[in-house]
Amino acid sequence: ESQQRYLEWAAKLHEIGISVAYSGYHRHSAYIIANADMPGFSRDDQMLLASLIRVHRRKLATLFRETPPLRSEFALRLAVILRIAVLLHRARSPQPLPHVQFQASGRKVVLSLPGRWQIFFLR
């Protein structure tokens, strides 16, 4: 499985639910992804994407109820990275974002940002 592919897909699709309603758009986005005809995506792919999109806001706990156990660590890592990416790009500023480096190992993600930014750890 390519983590980068899933992350790119989730990042591109996470706001699709705004066309339904801004309030709870992450839930609308997840519903659309889970139920749309998406040629080239397996049912498991769609469920993983829907889960990532649903938990990019609010509670991560639902991710574990909806993700097969063998993919839960993989999904958790991607969910954390997607949350960080959404936060960094939230303002949609034309200014370039800082250079971001991260390392992921098991359930730990280390994110390094320069200057006034901080380092985040997830355990």
Rounded CA separation 87/40 (Å):
29
Position 31 scores a pLDDT of 94
User: Residue 93: phi, psi to the nearest 5?
Assistant: -70, 145
| Tens place of pLDDT per residue across the chain (123 aa) | 588 899 999 999 988 888 888 888 888 999 999 999 999 999 988 988 998 888 877 777 666 666 666 677 778 888 888 888 888 777 777 877 777 787 877 767 787 777 666 544 343
CB-count burial class (<10 Å; 0-12, 13-18, 19+) for 65: exposed
In the structure encoding, which two tokens stand for residue 18, read together?
């705004």
Q: How far apart are CA 54 and CA 48, in angstroms?
A: 10
Tell me the whole-structure pTM to 2 decimals.
0.75
DSSP the chain: --HHHHHHHHHHHTTGGGGT-STTHHHHHHHHHHHS--TT--HHHHHHHHHHHHTTSS-SHHHHHHS-GGGHHHHHHHHHHHHHHHHHHTT--SSPPPP-EEEEETTEEEEE--TT---EEE-
For residue 10, the model assigns a pLDDT of 92
Residue 20's nearest CA partner among 7, 30, 34 is: 30
